[in-house]
Each structure stands twice: as structure tokens, then as C-alpha cells.
């Protein structure tokens, strides 16, 4: 019998071939080019080998069934083709291979013993029967939309035929993942069994007369819920088209092409439908949005999650005990993610009551996991027991790291630094979670500035995946490496930046809020400002986000900045409006009163805002052909204001890695994901065109749009940021 590199085959006495999917040298199975080359051969073996009566495909790895396609492999083969035909042929490989398995004439079952996402789930959908283990860690889903794509291995055709267009479209456009029992309830899989018995259950189905024909290959097959010309089915597309426009604002070609593939595909036999899917998949893959999102949200994220910017030559560390000082929502969130990573945590606050309140928040988050079956009671007790709430600084002894998460006040932070460092052993790291105060200045309170570093978490910590690591002037390489080891252990994505007021993320994000305030001062309607903000692809409008951040925080930061800068301080746009709102008790979402009133649901704009910022500008009627539309102008202002600040950060040396700049922007403050990030936005726009547009904005609205000389020099040379980038400078240092 033929042997395979990525599949191990064992045929039992009943003639059932158990095929263990096991890509060598990888902790998780993915659909690599090698796997894709072997799948047709595997299908042919099942079909032609007379000793095989049926097959069970399972994973040979404990980590999961299959995490999907290797996008690096895949995109290179399809986008790099010499012609559309080459691209289609490359894209068809997976559909052709899976269709060969589906039509091999023998029953094939999937024994899903780990997560099956993207192409991994599509592989199981091409099997005639699907059984999954009852394991809360297993996820089943088609998340391709999150990287600017849609399922290209039959998912757009098989899933609607299984569960109906409406349910399938919702699952695919949201990138939704299902737990095994939910997947069974939805009709995606057939059976859920005790973990570890998946293969036996799959074998039992085959031995019980399992049918070797997919439902859609039966002559009497009818589309669940009806097709596009069925009285019920047509509603899916009428409503679905509107919903996609509402959710994406036209920024994501993948969502519209997904619906087109489903709409056209379910009207024809499956073989033609799969060709339709491949055509739309290739069309989507070739869009700038998909290429940008794949690079930033998949390839760059993978590299950074593996420590791509970690200084070379520093031995790996494994933090076992970490102290968090400040048990508010931020500190408690940090304590929770540490506990989940198996780190002993000391949670300190000024009073025992405050410390206990922080631990109670940890308990609340753990209880959610317990209620979902993601933790056993024994594991819950152990994790909660690993967090000690206290006021006693002596308990810091033995900590590998301290994370300070106290109030944004230089004096308070200095006092905490001195008290904590007195308990730390040599080589232990002190990290400040400040979001705005320069690390070099805070490190002046330290007796060991080489071990002092910024560790900026984002709220809520349990959900936000980014951690911004900030280097002070004297921060040493050992401190950088140890901090990166810590961030990777708690399963967050790190970026490393140099010191600056507001660092990278807070500094650049604030420009989105400030441009919204500038529009408000100009007389644009608040509702229009926020609607345009969402149209750019940002998660919320600038006024909404300002409420979320907290107006009183902006007010306090402005006061601290004014004290620090003295005569050099220039008030931000709308500072007077914010000051009056805060002084009137409007702090934002946290106290239910900001630009919006939150007592009513849905929230409503605060009526009093019209007195502080009267509306004097309105969108005109249809514009003359070729005119730069007013809505487009406002959208451009919001995106360019942020991108120009990112370019300034680059020129000043705050950030020097395009991967960190782009991913930090998307994960840190929600910069429009469809762009791939601000650096990719500049690159794809073209440096010369970007500078030209920014110059026009600067001439019209002010120097806040003035580009740094760096961009002019790069534009003159025809350069791009990614074209100049040859690996992380920090890693090579």
C-alpha cells in the first residue's frame, strides 16, 4: 500500500482504513501544499484499493484536527500565477481533491478529535458522516472572513446545502465557531460522542451500512429553506444583501463575493457550484483588501506570536510568579490572564477590600468558563487559588515580574516602583501598564532602569489580544526578552516600541478621536461624524469611542500633559468642549453620560451637545461628476489623520517594523482591518499619491495632516515601507 508523508493509514480486519492526518514537524495540522498534493492520491487509494471498504479520517495530533489552509503556501500559489487560469487551477486543487474524496464510491467518515476550522472543517464536510468528541476545547467553523477571504474548499456550497442559506450565511459572514453539541444542533455534524471514542463511532457508522453518497448527490435532493426563487428562500438574499452592506459598508469584497457564490452556486449541481466558488474565491484573493488582511492578520500575527522581535542571544525565560499592583478592572484582568496561563499571581491594592474586589472579578471571569464547560470544578478551584489578594508588599518576593497598573499619576507610580523594587531579586523585571506617561520619565524612580519597561495592556484584558511593550532609554535587552516571554506565555500578541508620549497606540488612536472633535467644532452633526467613522471600517465612531475611553480620562491626560510640557503645550481639538462636559459631570459611558445618554436603550445623543457645538454644516445633494464627495472627504480625513501620525512615529523611531505598526493598529485601537493597517494603507495607496492627498488636507484643514519628510523622500524614490523592510531591526540587534 502506498505510503504518504502527511497521512498514516491503518486498515483493520473489517477493511476500514483509519487515516491519521499528521503533518510532520508541526504542532497543528494545516493544509499545506504537500497535503494538497497528497489528497487526490489519498482519494484514489480509497477508491481503488479493494481491501478498503470504507475510511475514517481523523487527526494524529493531540492539538487539533486541522486549523485550515496554510495561507502563506496558498496565497503564493494563487496570486503569484502567470494568468487567471493558473490562479484558478491552483485554487481548484482543494475543491477537486475534496470532491474526489466525496465521490470515491466508499463511505468516508470524519472522526473530529480536535478543532476543525476553515479548510479543516471543509475537509470534514466532504466526508459522508461527521462525528466529534464531546470536548469543550473543540471548535468547528469557517472563519476565513476574518482575514478578508471566504471558504474556498466547498464551504460556500456544502454548508448551505446542509443547514440552509440563512444559517450558513450567518455562520460564514460572522466567522462563527461552534462547539460540538452546538454544531450537531445546527446540523453541521451528525454525532457527538465521548472524547476519545470518535474513531470507534465513525467505524460503527460504516459497519452499520453508512451511505457513500452526499445528500446533494441524491437525485431527490432539495435545498433546505429553498433557493433564491423559492418564496421563502428569496428573503435570504433580499435581506442578506442589505445586512452585508450594513455590516461592511462596502469595505470587504469577501462578504459580497461570498453571497454571490452562494446565490449562484445553489442553483446548479454541486460540481458546477464548486467551480463558481473557486472563481469568486480567486477574485477575492486578488483584491488589495484580502492581500492586506492575510499579510497582517495571519502572516504577521503568526510571526509576532512566535517571538519574531525577541532579541537574539538572550536565554528563554519562563515566568512562574508575577505580581500585579492595582486591583482595578485592568489589574484584575491581567491577574485573570496570568492565572489562565498557569502563573502564580499576587494581586496588591491599598486596601484588602479593593484587592478582594479585584480577585472577585477574576472569579467572575472563571465562572463564565466553568458554566460553559470549559473548566472543571477542580481546575476552577486551582486557578482561583493561584491568585492571592493582599496589601502586603512582602509577598512580592520571588516574583519574576511586577506589573504596575495603578492610577495615571507620576507620583503614585514612583512610590509603587520604589516599594516593589525593594522586594525584587536581581534580574526581575518591573513593568508599568501606563497608557500615556513616558517610560523613561517613570524609570527615574527606579534604582534599576535597565530592568524597567512599559507593558501596556488594553481593556478588557481578557478579550483584547495586543500588549504594547515600551522601551525606556535604559531598558536592557534581557528585560525586553523576559517581557516578551511573559506576553507570549499569557497568549497575547506583542509589539515592541520606543518611548514617546502616548507611545504608539495611544498616541495614534487619539488622532481619530481628535479629528472627530475637529469635525464637531467645524459644525458637522454628531450623528454624521459617528456614522462616517463607522463607514471607514473603524469599530465605532470617534465620539462613541471617546465616550468608551472616558471623557474625564482625556481631561486628566490633557492636564498632566500641560503640566509636563508647559509653554510647549498645544490644546487638542475640542479640548474646551470636553472640559465643559467633564466639569458638568459627563464622564462618558462609564457614568452613563457623555456625548450620548446611556440610560435609554439604544443610547441617544445628548441634547445639550447642540449648545456646546452647534450644527452649521450639512451634506449637500448629489454632487457634480468628478467632485470629491463630502462623505468621502470626511472618511479620508479620519483615516489619513491616523496614518500620518503613524508615519511620524516611524520617522521619530517610535516604531520601526511594519508588521508591528499594522497589527498593533488593528488589534490595539481597531484601525480599519480591511486596509491591513496604516502602513499597508500608505503602501497600497502609493507614497506619492498619499503625500499628495495629505498635502491637500493640510492646506485645507491645518498642519495636523502635514506629512513627515520621511514620506516625501520615500515617495521621491518610489519606495514602500514593506519593500524596505528586511526583517525586524530589533530582532537582529
| Contact by Cβ (8 Å): 551, 594 | yes
| Contact by Cβ (8 Å): 366, 399 | no
Distances from the Cα of 427 to the Cαs of 136, 424, 448, 476, 494, in angstroms?
A: 39, 8, 9, 11, 21
- Write the CB contacts of 566 (distance below 8 Å, at least 6 apart in sequence): none
Handedness of CA 521, 524, 529, 535 (dihedral sign): negative
Closest C-alpha to 78, from 108, 48, 33, 43? 33
CA count, 13 A, side-chain hemisphere, 60 = 16
Q: Extract the C-alpha cell encoding 650.
A: 516611524
Closest C-alpha to 537, from 677, 707, 693, 680? 677
| Contact by Cβ (8 Å): 133, 268 | no
- Phi, psi for residue 78 in degrees, rounded to 5: -90, -45
CA count, 13 A, side-chain hemisphere, 569 = 13
CA count, 13 A, side-chain hemisphere, 56 = 27
- Write the CB contacts of 684 (distance below 8 Å, at least 6 apart in sequence): 288, 292, 675, 676
230 part of the active site: no
Give 546-564 as a DSSP string.
Answer: HHHH-HHHHHHHHHHHHHH
Q: Say if strands 16-21 and 140-141 run parallel, antiparallel, or are unpaired.
A: unpaired
Q: Could you give the CA distance from residue 390 to residue 383 in angstroms, rounded to a whole number?
A: 17
| Contact by Cβ (8 Å): 112, 66 | no
Q: Extract the C-alpha cell encoding 132.
A: 466529534
Radius of gyration of the chain (CA): 28
Closest C-alpha to 302, from 35, 31, 659? 659
Identify the residue whose cell numbers are 469543550: 136
Q: Could you give the CA distance from residue 601 to residue 211 in angstroms, rounded to a whole number?
A: 52
Q: Could you give the CA distance from residue 93 to residue 264 in angstroms, rounded to a whole number?
A: 21
Is the bond leading into 130 cis (omega within 30 degrees of zero)? no
Q: Could you give the CA distance from residue 584 to residue 595 in angstroms, rounded to a whole number?
A: 12
- Ramachandran region, residue 592 (left: φ > 0; alpha: ψ -120 to 50; beta: rest): left
Which stretches does DSSP call E strand in 183-244? 191-193
Looking at 128, 361, 456, 546, which residue is catalytic?
A: 456
Q: Say if strands 387-390 and 344-348 run parallel, antiparallel, or are unpaired.
A: parallel
- Write the CB contacts of 342 (distance below 8 Å, at least 6 apart in sequence): 386
* Residue 491 CA from chain centroid, whole number: 13
Closest C-alpha to 437, from 462, 459, 412? 412
- Supply the residues annotated as catalytic: 456
Amino acid at each position: 500500500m502506498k505510503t504518504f508523508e502527511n497521512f498514516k493509514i491503518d486498515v483493520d480486519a473489517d477493511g476500514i482504513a483509519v487515516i491519521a492526518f499528521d503533518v510532520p514537524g508541526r504542532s497543528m495540522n494545516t493544509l499545506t501544499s504537500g497535503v494538497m498534493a497528497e489528497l487526490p492520491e489519498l482519494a484514489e487509494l480509497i477508491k481503488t484499493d479493494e481491501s478498503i471498504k470504507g475510511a475514517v479520517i481523523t487527526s494524529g495530533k493531540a492539538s487539533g484536527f486541522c486549523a485550515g489552509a496554510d495561507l502563506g503556501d496558498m496565497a503564493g500559489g494563487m496570486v503569484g500565477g502567470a494568468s487567471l487560469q493558473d490562479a484558478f487551477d491552483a485554487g481548484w486543487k482543494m475543491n477537486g481533491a475534496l470532491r474526489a474524496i466525496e465521490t470515491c464510491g466508499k463511505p468516508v467518515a470524519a472522526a473530529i478529535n480536535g478543532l476543525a476550522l476553515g479548510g479543516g472543517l471543509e475537509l470534514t464536510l466532504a466526508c459522508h458522516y461527521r462525528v466529534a468528541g464531546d470536548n469543550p476545547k473543540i471548535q468547528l467553523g469557517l472563519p476565513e472572513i476574518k482575514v478578508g477571504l471566504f471558504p474556498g474548499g466547498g464551504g460556500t456550497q456544502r454548508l448551505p446545502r446542509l443547514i440552509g442559506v440563512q444559517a450558513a450565511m450567518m455562520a460564514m459572514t460572522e466567522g462563527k465557531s461552534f462547539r460540538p453539541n452546538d454544531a450537531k444542533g445546527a446540523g453541521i455534524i451528525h454525532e457527538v460522542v465521548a472524547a476519545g471514542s470518535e474513531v470507534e463511532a465513525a467505524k460503527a457508522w460504516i459497519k452499520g451500512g453508512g451511505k457513500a453518497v452526499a445528500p446533494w448527490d441524491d437525485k431527490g435532493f432539495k435545498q433546505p429553506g429553498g433557493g433564491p426563487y423559492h418564496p421563502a428562500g428569496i428573503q435570504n438574499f433580499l435581506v442578506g444583501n442589505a445586512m452585508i452592506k450594513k455590516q461592511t459598508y462596502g469595505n470587504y469584497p469577501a462578504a459580497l463575493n461570498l453571497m454571490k457564490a452562494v446565490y449562484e452556486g445553489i442553483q446548479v449541481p454541486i460540481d458546477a457550484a464548486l467551480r463558481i466558488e473557486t472563481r469568486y474565491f480567486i477574485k477575492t484573493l486578488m483584491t488589495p483588501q484580502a492581500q492586506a488582511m492575510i499579510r497582517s492578520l495571519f502572516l504577521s500575527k503568526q510571526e509576532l506570536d512566535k517571538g519574531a522581535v525577541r532579541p537574539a542571544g538572550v536565554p528563554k525565560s519562563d515566568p512562574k510568579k508575577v505580581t500585579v499592583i492595582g486591583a482595578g478592572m485592568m489589574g484584575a484582568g491581567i491577574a485573570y490572564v496570568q492565572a489562565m496561563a498557569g502563573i502564580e499571581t499576587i494581586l496588591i491594592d491599598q486596601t484588602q477590600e479593593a484587592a478582594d474586589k479585584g480577585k472577585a472579578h477574576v472569579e467572575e471571569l472563571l465562572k463564565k468558563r466553568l458554566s460553559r464547560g470549559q473548566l472543571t470544578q477542580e481546575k476552577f478551584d486551582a486557578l482561583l487559588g493561584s491568585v492571592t489578594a493582599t496589601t502586603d508588599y512582602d509577598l512580592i518576593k520571588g516574583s519574576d515580574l511586577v506589573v504596575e497598573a495603578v492610577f495615571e499619576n507620576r507620583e503614585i507610580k514612583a512610590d509603587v516602583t520604589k516599594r516593589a523594587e525593594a522586594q525584587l531579586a536581581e534580574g526581575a523585571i518591573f513593568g508599568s501598564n501606563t497608557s500615556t506617561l513616558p517610560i523613561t520619565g517613570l524609570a527615574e524612580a527606579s534604582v534599576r532602569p535597565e530592568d524597567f519597561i512599559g507593558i501596556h495592556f488594553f481593556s478588557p484584558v481578557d478579550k483584547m489580544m495586543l500588549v504594547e511593550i515600551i522601551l525606556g532609554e535604559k531598558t536592557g535587552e534581557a528585560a525586553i526578552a523576559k517581557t516578551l516571554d511573559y506576553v507570549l506565555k499569557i497568549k497575547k500578541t506583542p509589539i515592541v516600541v520606543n518611548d514617546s508620549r502616548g507611545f504608539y497606540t495611544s498616541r495614534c488612536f487619539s488622532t481619530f478621536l481628535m479629528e472627530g472633535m475637529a469635525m464637531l467644532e467645524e459644525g458637522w452633526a454628531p450623528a454624521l461624524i459617528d456614522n462616517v467613522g463607522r463607514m471607514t471600517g473603524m469599530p465605532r465612531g470617534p465620539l462613541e469611542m471617546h465616550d468608551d475611553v472616558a471623557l474625564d480620562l482625556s481631561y486628566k491626560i490633557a492636564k498632566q500633559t500641560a503640566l509636563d510640557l508647559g509653554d510647549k503645550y498645544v490644546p487638542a481639538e475640542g479640548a474646551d468642549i470636553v472640559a465643559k462636559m467633564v466639569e458638568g459631570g459627563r464622564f462618558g459611558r462609564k457614568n452613563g453620560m457623555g456625548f450620548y445618554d446611556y440610560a435609554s436603550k439604544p443610547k441617544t445623543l445628548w441634547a445639550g451637545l447642540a449648545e456646546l457645538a452647534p450644527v452649521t454644516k450639512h451634506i449637500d445633494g448629489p454632487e457634480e461628476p468628478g467632485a470629491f464627495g463630502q462623505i468621502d472627504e470626511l472618511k479620508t480625513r479620519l483615516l489619513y489623520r491616523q496614518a500620518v501620525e503613524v508615519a511620524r512615529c516611524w520617522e521619530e523611531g517610535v516604531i520601526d517594523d511594519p508588521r508591528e505598526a499594522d497589527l498593533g493598529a488593528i488589534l490595539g485601537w481597531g484601525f480599519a482591518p480591511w486596509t491591513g493597517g496604516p502602513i499597508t494603507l500608505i503602501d497600497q495607496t502609493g507614497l506619492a499619491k498619499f503625500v499628495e492627498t495629505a498635502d491637500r488636507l493640510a492646506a485645507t484643514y491645518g498642519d495636523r495632516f502635514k506629512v513627515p519628510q520621511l514620506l516625501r523622500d520615500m515617495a521621491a524614490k518610489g519606495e514602500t515601507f514593506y519593500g524596505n523592510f528586511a526583517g525586524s531591526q530589533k530582532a537582529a540587534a
